[in-house]
Amino acid sequence: MVNGNVVAIFISPVAGGKMEEVEMVEAIAGAGLAGDRYAMAAGSFNRKRPGRRQVTLINSVFFQDRGFEYGESRRNIVTQGVELMWLIGREFHIGKTRFRGQYYCDPCLRPTRLSGKSEKFLEVFSDRGGLVAEVLEGGTIKKGDHISIKAIPEEAYYYRNREPTT
């Protein structure tokens, strides 16, 4: 079931370094994106803790009239057409690469400091910070790849769809 696609991909080899937009990247199971600070346990939020924070995603719709460019958000993958909060605790694919959504990615002040903007990323993106995900099965991710969510088994709808008992 296709739910969205990849709009842009960014990596940075060091914490605080410039985010570089790439057309494709290799996702490494248990680590993150090749060439990115998180995959090398050198990010601001996972320094010396490999696998803790692997990949970050954010929805492109949040950037409209917000004053920030995609790369300034410091997120790895910019998406469209999928509600990222639905992915928390669920498996999904980007192309053939398998992920699990871990938790909401709180916006912070780091993007503001690094971009030099007067708008505060923390405020502008309040409740819109994105998602942190782990790579379960590696592979190549390309700009334009489809994002698909593993279907929910029918029994998961049992309580919502069952007939009331009297």
**Pair 99, 145: CB distance under 8 Å:** no
Write the DSSP symbol of residue 65: T
Q: Mind listing the pLDDT tens digit for each residue in 59-78?
A: 998 888 777 778 877 889 99
Whether residue 128 is contained in a domain is answered as: yes
The total number of structural domains that make up the chain: 1
Yes or no: say if 124 and 66 are a contact pair by the CB < 8 Å rule. yes
Q: Indicate whether 54 belongs to any domain.
A: yes
Does some domain include residue 98? yes
Please indicate, yes or no, if residue 102 is contained in any of the structural domains: yes
The range of the structural domain enclosing residue 130 comes to 2-152
Contacts of 16 (CB under 8 A, 6+ apart): 44, 110, 114
Residue 77 lies in a domain: yes
Q: Where is 32: in which H helix or E strand?
A: strand 32-33
User: Residue 140 CB: number of other CB atoms within 10 A?
Assistant: 14
CATH number of the domain within which 66 lies: 2.40.33.20
Tens digit of each residue's pLDDT (9 = 90 or more) over 76-128: 999 999 999 889 999 999 999 999 999 887 766 665 566 667 676 656 666 67
